Structure 1
Amino acid sequence: MKVYKFGGASIKDADSIQNVAKILKSEGTEGCLLVISAMGKMTNAFENIVHAYCYDKASFKKSLDFVVGFHEDIVNALFDEPNIVLDKVSGLFKNLNSFLAKNDSKSYDYLYDQIVSVGELLSTTIVSNYFVEEGIENIWNDVRKLIITDNSHRDAKVDWQKTQETIIESIDQKKLNIVQGFLGGDTKGNTTTLGREGSDYTAGIFAYCLDAKEVTIWKDVEGVLNADPRVFKETQLLEQISYEETIEMAFYGASVIHPKTIQPLQSKEIPLFVRSFKDLNLKGTKVTRGVAIKPYLPCFIVKKDQILVSISALDFSFMVENNISHIFKLLHQYLLKVNLIQNSAISFSVCVDNKFNQFETFLEELKSSYKVDVVKGVDLYTVRHFTDKSLGEIQQNGLPLLTQINKETAQIVIKQ
């Protein structure tokens, strides 16, 4: 099989969905599985619904009405006779309202997964029905019954054995299948999610379980670029990169491919292509085993709104293994993603991402045992295959607070 992943930008409106249908007609649909994300910026919009439900009831209806209207507008634009699809869309929102009316859980992460997941259910329902109208027969699958996970909401762990058994039993490999990205389900029937931007990972999971021929991630750029075009004025296409290089770039925060995607592909040597849904004539980027990066040039990765934390002992004694072990235990406990580490004899510094908003609690506990200095709102620049010129360009973006360099990678923390 071939596995295709279409993200939110590729199905953000009626014209975009029509374009996906054209791509499939051009590339072929037999033995193909599509992983589809929520439409446009709808994951953000559903996150607003979660926040309103938990913390701001007065804005809940407005947040929900915006999402309902967005999907109804797309259906009305796509279909000559939209009523059947509108009924399906309405049914999904009725299910959501019914769940919320009966809910007695106070767990934000649990509620997040049950609410935000509706975005993918809506997008795949609309796309699947539009394909049928266009003569593209397909099978709509509920991925929550295929990817089996634990109950770690918002960052669920895949049960690979159960997942592979279920996928092989359920997927007709000769036909076009559609599944939701980002989602899974635990053994009790609760919806889970695989981590933000996890649809790439979904594609990797299906490719592994089905021994796919290849995976293609369709993007609004021509392939994997050496820098984010939203941040850097000049970028270049990387024609080929290795699994190892891709993992390195993803680890440091490159947004083009989800960090967990590569491991299942690498283990079965399934090639990954990153192509443009805007221009099928472009070859894009090929990711495979053991190839040199081509062309060889500096690659820039930026993580914004980071927190730089410098830690030292209260009595200015050495920072030894016990101290560092204790700090890492707290970082893990409070779900703080560490993106840079630097230590000296008497201090230990980390640059962290406060994705789950638990930094202040972490900080209070840390201050009971250590002297702590904090700088918020910093940018972390990582440069793979750096040159003196590339480092000089980065340092012009603000005040460098910390620099760390090894053979292939330089990291600089910048305060604007």
Structure 2
Amino acid sequence: MQILKFGGASVRDADGVRNLEKVLQSVGTEKTLIVISAMGKTTNALEKVIEHYFNSKHELQSSIQDVKKYHNGILLELFENESHEVFKVVTALFRELSEFFDRNKSPDYSFVYDQTIGFGELISTTIVSYYLNHKGVKNKWLDVRELIKTNSYYRNAKVEWALTQSKISEAIDEKALHITQGFLGSDGNNFTTTLGREGSDYTAAIFAFCLNAKSVTIWKDVPGVLNADPRFFENPTLLDSLSYEEAIELSYYGASVIHPKTLQPLQQKEIPLYVKCFLEPKNKGTKVGKSLDLSPNVPCYILRKDQILITVSSLDFSYIVEENISHIFKLLHLYKMKVRSIQNSAISFSVCIENSYNHLEPLILQLKAKYNVRLDKAVDLYTIRHYTTDAIEEIQKNKTVLMKQITPKTVQIITK
């Protein structure tokens, strides 16, 4: 089978849904499974809904209506008749979302997040599935939560591979066209879980692994994997090919085109990954596979903004040794901090983190009980793979460098 993944930008409006059908005409629909993200900025809009649920309940229903209005606009463009069944199905999904907020008793933000956020994918796949059937492209809609089983680590769940393999193998007719959601799974109690932000790529890789797929194609609004994010860097270069190992390195440091967890299951079964532009489906894009060279061989730039640099030193000027570092990492794990870079000297230890769960304040209080602590907020972390002297100098120009770390293939620079 071929696994095709379409991101939110590719289905952000009615024209995007129509274009998805054209892409399918180009690449074929036999033995195909499609993974689709939430439409446009729906995930961000649902995060606003969650914020209102916790902090501003009088605005909750209006924020839900904003999301509904956006999707209804797309429906009205795609379907001539408002009596079409798809309108009822989408309305039922929004009713289910509102009913969750009415009955929920859990104060756990991460739990509420996962029960809410997945409606974006459920609605987008419903609209696309009905539209394709409406246009004569017969397909089967699947609820991915019945297939990908995970633990209960909400917002970053871990896949239960044996059970997932069994359920996917039983559910998929390899000859048919299937449509399902990215990003989602469910735990042992059938509560919705999510695989981490941008986890739809990972969903495609999970299906590819379980189905021994011939390929995975991720359809983006860029020509393929670029050597730099065009939002932050001028004139990026398209990479024609790169190895799994190189792609894993880039994703580890935060390259936004490929999700960090996507590549491992593909590498295990040597399933090639293609990254292509949904506006130019005939173009080659980028191929990621076994033993491929980085082509062209150019520096690759990754920027992570709004990071936090913590520097700790001993209260009595004693050395920072293994016991101290172990203690610091236990605290980082306890407060769910994502570590992006570390550096230590005789009497200090610096760590660049991402405060995804908003646990910074209790972490700092714990650290101050044992160490001197310096905190630099809103710093930028630049990573350059295959760096050159000119590349480093360009990044450092007109910036205050707080930390720099160089290895034979990679340099990391934290700036203010």
Q: Matches of 2:76 and 2:256 in 1, distance apart?
A: 33
| Gapped regions of structure 2 (runs ≥ 5) | none
Q: Following the alignment from structure 1 to structure 2, what is the Cα–Cα distance between the partners of residues 204 and 82?
A: 36
Which letter does structure 1 place at the counterpart of 2:41? K
Instruction: Please give the per-residue CA displacement for 1:18-68, whole angstroms capped at 9, x wherever unaligned.
Output: 000011011100100000000000000001111110111122122111101
- Equivalent in the alignment of 1:321: 322
Aligned to 2:340: 339
Over the aligned positions, Cα root-mean-square deviation in angstroms equals 0.7
Aligned to 1:340, what secondary structure does the other structure show? strand
Return the alpha-carbon distance in structure 1 between the equivalents of residues 66 and 317 of structure 2. 55
Counterpart code for 2:250? M
- Tell me whether 1:16 sits opposite 2:35 in the alignment: no
Worse-superposed segment, 280-289 or 156-165 = 280-289
Residue 397 of structure 1 contacts residue 414 of structure 1 at CA under 8 Å; is this kept in 2? no
Q: Aligned with 2:206: secondary structure?
A: helix
One-letter code aligned to 2:111:
Y
Q: C-alpha offsets along residues 221-259 of structure 1, whole Å, 9 cap, x if unaligned?
A: 000000000111110000000000000000000000000
Alignment partners' CA distance in 1, 2:317 and 2:66: 55
* Residue 233 of structure 1 pairs with residue 234 of structure 2: yes
What is the CA–CA distance in structure 2 between the aligned matches of 1:234 and 1:315, rounded to whole Å?
A: 50
**Any idea what SS the aligned residue of 1:335 has?**
coil
Residue correspondence of structure 1 range 152-191 to structure 2 within 5 A: 152-191=153-192
Q: 1:227 & 1:352 partners in 2: Cα distance? A: 21
Who is 2:78 aligned against? 78
Equivalent residue, structure 1, for 2:40? 40
Query: Could you state the TM-score of these two structures normalised by the residue count of structure 1?
Result: 0.99
| Partner of residue 7, structure 1 | 7
Q: What secondary structure does 2:10 align onto? A: helix
Is the 1:21–1:131 contact (alpha carbons within 8 Å) kept by the matching residues of 2?
Answer: yes
Matched position secondary structure for 1:144: helix
How many Å apart are 1:290 and its aligned residue? 1.3
The Cα of 1:212 is off from its aligned counterpart by 0.2
Counterparts in 2 of 1:223 and 1:397: CA distance versus 1, 3 Å: farther
Task: Name the structure 2 match of 1:291.
Answer: 292
Which residue does the alignment assign to 2:121? 120
Q: Whole-Å Cα distance in 2 between the matches of residues 229 and 255 of structure 1?
A: 11
Partner of 1:310: 311
Secondary structure in 2 aligned to 1:257?
coil
- What do the CA deviations read for 1:194-233 (whole angstroms, capped 9, x no partner)? 0011000000000000000000000000000000001111
> What is the letter of the counterpart of residue 237 of structure 1?
L
Q: What secondary structure sits across from 2:54 in the alignment?
A: helix
Aligned partner of 1:265 in structure 2 is 266
The share of aligned pairs that are identical, in percent, is 54
Aligned with 1:273: secondary structure?
strand
- Report if aligned partners of 1:3, 1:32 keep a CA contact under 8 Å in 2: yes
Partner SS for 1:59: helix
Give the aligned partner of residue 57 of structure 2: 57
Q: Residue by residue, what CA displacement relative to the aligned partner does 1:331-361 show, whole Å, maximum 9, x if unpaired?
A: 0111110100100111000111111111111
TM norm structure 2: 0.99
Q: CA–CA distance in 1 between the matches of 2:162 and 2:257?
A: 28
Question: How many pairs align?
Answer: 415
| 1:268 CA drift (Å) | 0.2
Which amino acid counterpart does residue 25 of structure 1 have in structure 2? Answer: Q
Shift of 1:397: 5.0
Match of 1:279 in 2: 280
Q: Which runs of 4+ in 1 moved over 4 A?
A: none
